[in-house]
Amino acid sequence: VLDRKNKTVKVVYNIQPGEIFYVNEIDITGNYESRDYVIRRELRFSPGDLLKRKKLFRSQSRLYRLGFYNAVGFEPKVKDENELDIDVRVSERFTGQISFGAGYSQLTGFSLFTSIKKANFMGTGDTVGISLSLGSDYRNNSISYLHRWAFYKPVDLGFDLYDRYVDYTTFVSEKRGFSPTVSYEISEYWRTGFGVAFQAGKFKDIDNDAPIRIQEQAGSYSIFAVFWNFNRNSVDNPILPTTGSDFNIGVKVGVGNRGYYKFYTSYAFFLPDKIFYTDWVFSAKARYGAIKAMHDKILLDELFFVGGDFSVRGFDYGMGGPYDENKKEPLGSKQQLVFNFQLSHPIAEKFLWGYGFFDLGKGYNGGNPFKDMYYSVGLGLKLVTPMAPIDIYYGKVLNAPDGVSDSRFGFVLGTFF
């Protein structure tokens, strides 16, 4: 109603409540491999529940996060008055990886290898992995298993058993270990995990001209470690995330003649364009870690190596931290601080994405981490294949130290963020 005299407008809203529906039956189709219970246990609604849109979206996100499906959809069908049947439709993706062959590298010499990894093992949602590698200067054998929803609860049980031997150019490293783990979903987005690790090994045949940090590793060692972590994950899709966040924090304490205290944390988030409603997605990730020795030595494997495919892209592995200036080999650091920023856009949706990135970070042994921090820029493509996502990128470090390679092409099997 327009009141010209008082220059006001009276607006009357007439709100009609919509119909409410309850879930009657839930049918699952398209799961030629997954057993029904693998899907049902991720649904946030059950028969008899009041159907809410947010529960459908959350159920879809949880199913995508398993990594077993290319597509997940819901089709409601009216059954009776105020009742719906829900048809859950999934499209399975290939979840097995098999590789075998022979190879040669300067690091490992000639070697034979075979590797089998199967997620959603026998349709149960479990993951099994077996790796066998044998060469004159290299051995890497391991077996792992992750059992999901133990005791019909959101509890995951896992273990990793390994035997590794590498003859590097200046020393030999060999180690054997076993690590059982347990994790529990404490709320819709939060999960906590706990585990122990037993590892025994030795560094031997160390050359006299090897870096001091390598010479300090000489001898046998044994470690018993306990680790704990918290994780909050609201990411919509682990392969092509477009919204949500992922937060991790954890500690690890190792007891033995190479004992240590270790802390690590990371936070990543994904923002779709909600201003112009384009398909651009902005991603950012921050990581910090620190380790301190109980005695006078820190196990080389537990140090941080900044630089490479999963930190500051454009560097060779570990060259964004301390390195041997004569041999140009990374030495690892006691602390790390890394930031990654990325802007992505689909070229062929659900199949091929292009992105640009800006990374900065540093591995250091104390002092101000923001002083002389390295930074890089680059472009890349993400290809989603039935086997796994593949990243191909070119990175350029803008302030690399003299004599250190400042650019490289990278090939990554898996996800970066």
Q: What is the DSSP string of 16-40?
A: -PPP--EEEEEEEES-SSS-HHHHH
Mean pLDDT over 119-144 rounds to: 89
Q: What's the pLDDT score for residue 10?
A: 84
> Is residue 109 predicted with pLDDT exceeding 60?
no
> Is residue 367 predicted with pLDDT exceeding 50?
yes
Does 324 or 248 have the greater pLDDT score? 248
User: Using the 8-state DSSP alphabet, how is residue 243 labeled?
Assistant: S
Mean pLDDT over 112-116 rounds to: 76
CATH fold for the domain made of 168-413: Porin (2.40.160)
Coil vs helix vs strand at 328: coil
26-48, pLDDT tens digit by residue? Answer: 999 999 999 999 999 999 999 99
Is the Cα dihedral 54, 59, 60, 62 positive or negative? Answer: positive
CA distance 46 to 35: 17
CATH fold for the domain made of 22-92: Ubiquitin-like (UB roll) (3.10.20)
> Is residue 53 predicted with pLDDT exceeding 60?
yes
Mean pLDDT over 45-58 rounds to: 93
Mean pLDDT over 369-392 rounds to: 91
Pairing mode of beta strands 2-3, 109-119:
unpaired
Query: Which has the closest alpha carbon to 343: 386, 399, 382?
Result: 382
> Is residue 106 predicted with pLDDT exceeding 50?
no
Does 270 or 81 have the greater pLDDT score? 270
Token pair belonging to 268: 């990543």
Q: What's the pLDDT score for residue 340?
A: 98
Contact predicate 131/141, CB 8 Å: yes
Q: What's the pLDDT score for residue 94?
A: 84
Mean pLDDT of the chain: 91
Pairing mode of beta strands 22-29, 83-92:
parallel
Q: What's the pLDDT score for residue 73?
A: 95
Is the Cα dihedral 378, 302, 230, 288 positive or negative? Answer: negative
Q: What's the pLDDT score for residue 99?
A: 67
Mean pLDDT over 172-184 rounds to: 96
Burial status of residue 348 (CB atoms within 10 A of its CB: 0-12, 13-18, 19 or more): exposed
One-letter amino acid at 378 equals G
Element containing residue 215 per DSSP (H, E): helix 212-215
Contact predicate 23/84, CB 8 Å: yes
Q: What's the pLDDT score for residue 56?
A: 94
As a residue count, the chain comes to: 417
Q: Where are the domains of the chain?
A: 22-92, 168-413
CA distance 37 to 123: 10
CA Rg, the chain, in Å?
26
Q: What's the pLDDT score for residue 158?
A: 98
- In percent, the amount of the chain with pLDDT more than 70 equals 95
Query: Which has the closest alpha carbon to 60: 269, 242, 230, 184?
Result: 242
Mean pLDDT over 306-332 rounds to: 92
Angle at 363 between CA 230 and CA 298, to 5 degrees: 75
Mean pLDDT over 156-169 rounds to: 92
Contact predicate 239/382, CB 8 Å: no
- In percent, the amount of the chain with pLDDT more than 90 equals 70
